[in-house]
Amino acid sequence: AQERNKYVKGKKLGSGQYADVFSAYLVTDPTQLVAIKKIKVGAEVKEMGISYDSLREIRFLQELDHPNIIKLYSVFSTKNQNLNLVLEQLPQGDLLKLIQDTQNISYTPADVKAWMLMLMRAVHFCHANFILHRDIKPNNLLIAANGEIKLADFGLARSFADPYQPMTYNTITIWYRPPELFFQAQFYGGAVDVWSCGAVFAELISRDVLFRAWPESEMNMVKLICEKVGTPTEENWPGVSKLKGYVTPTEIQPVRPKDYWLANFRTIGEIGVDLLMKMLTLDPKVRLSAEGVLKHEYWTSAPRPSKLEALPRKG
C-alpha cells in the first residue's frame, strides 16, 4: 500500500515556520497516534527533485533510534510534491513553554540536570552517527507524556522548505548559533551543537535567553557573544582571524572568568558553572565535545538528576 494511505489524518496540532502539523492515526490500529508534519516544499526543490543526498539523510534519520530523539516513522509525498514526515506524537509541548511559564511552573537545579542529561545523550548519539542537528533550541526539545525530552526538528526538513512561503511570521532564530558560524567557518563539527546546548543550559537556569540579540542580526549576536563570553582573538582562538567573516575588533573584552559566570548562574554550583563555561568556549577546537560533556563530573555530583516522574509538566 501507499505510505500515505496508512494514516487517517485528524486535527491540526500546530503550525511552525515552514510546516503544518496534524494529528493522525494508523488505519490498522487507531490507538497508534502519530504526528504528520507537512512541509511546503520550495519551488527549487520541486524542480530539481529531492536530491539523493537528502533522501539518504532522511533514511538515516529514520534509522536513528534513541529515547531522547523524536522517532521518524516514515516519509511520503502528497500532491504538489509536498513532503510529509510521520513522527512520534508528543502532545506535552516543548521546553520553551516550561521556561516561559514562570507563573505556573517552577523547577530545581536537579530538574535542569535531568533535562540537560537527556539532551546531551541525544546530541552525543547524533554525533556518534555522524549527524549534526544545527538548530538546537528550547522549542525543538519536545516533552513526552512520561516526561522524557525528545530532540526534534532536524535542519534537514527545513532545507526543503519554500523560503517565499513562510507559514508564520516568526523567523528562524540565531540566538543559539555559535561564533564559528557567524565567522563563516568552512569546516565545523559537533561543537556547533554543544554551543547551542550551552545556551539552552544557561536559559534553563536563568529562565532568560542568554544571547538575546535584538534586533536579531548577526552583528548584534557577535557583539553579545563578545560582551558575555569574550572577544575572539588569536590568543583565545588560534586561526580565528583567518576566517572569512571575522571582523577585527576595535575593543577587546577579555574572556570572562569563572567569577563572572558564578555570579549569574550560582544555582548550579561551581561544578555546573565549570561545565557551562566549557560548553560556551569560543574556540570550537577547545570547546567540549558532546562525549566530553557527558564525562564531566557535573552529572555525578550532587544533586542527582530528577527522576522522570518528578519533572514538572505543562499545567
274 counts as catalytic: no
Exactly one of 4, 6, 17, 296 binds ligand ADP (CB under 6 A); that residue is 17
Pick the closer one to ligand ADP by CB: 13 or 64. Answer: 13
Q: Which of 45, 87, 149, 311 binds ligand ADP (CB under 6 A)?
A: 87
Q: What are the distances in angstroms from CA 303 to CA 108, 119, 299? A: 10, 18, 9
Candidates 16-24, 191-199, 201-209, 275-283; binding stretch for ligand ADP (CB under 6 A): 16-24
Q: Which residue, 163 or 254, has its beta carbon nearer to ligand ADP?
A: 163
Q: Which of 7, 83, 84, 153 binds ligand ADP (CB under 6 A)?
A: 153
Q: Which helix (H) or strand (E) holds 26?
A: strand 19-26
Site residue total, ligand ADP (CB under 6 A): 18
Site for ligand ADP in 57-76 (CB under 6 A): 70
Using the rule CB under 6 A, is 200 a contact of ligand ADP? no
Helical ranges in 129-217 per DSSP H: 155-160, 179-182, 191-206
Cis peptide before 215 (omega within 30 of 0): yes
Interface residue with ligand ADP among 49, 91, 238, 249 (CB under 6 A) is 91
C-alpha to C-alpha distances, 221 to 216, 226, 269, 276, 309, nearest whole angstrom:
7, 9, 27, 19, 37
Is there a contact between 299 and 117 (Cβ–Cβ < 8 Å)? yes
Q: How far apart are CA 289 and CA 213, in angstroms?
A: 25
CB 35 within 8 A of CB 90: yes
Of the pair 14, 163, the CB lying nearest ligand ADP is at: 14
Residues labelled as active-site residues: 135
Binding site for ligand ADP (CB under 6 A): 13-17, 19, 21, 35, 70, 87-91, 139-140, 142, 153
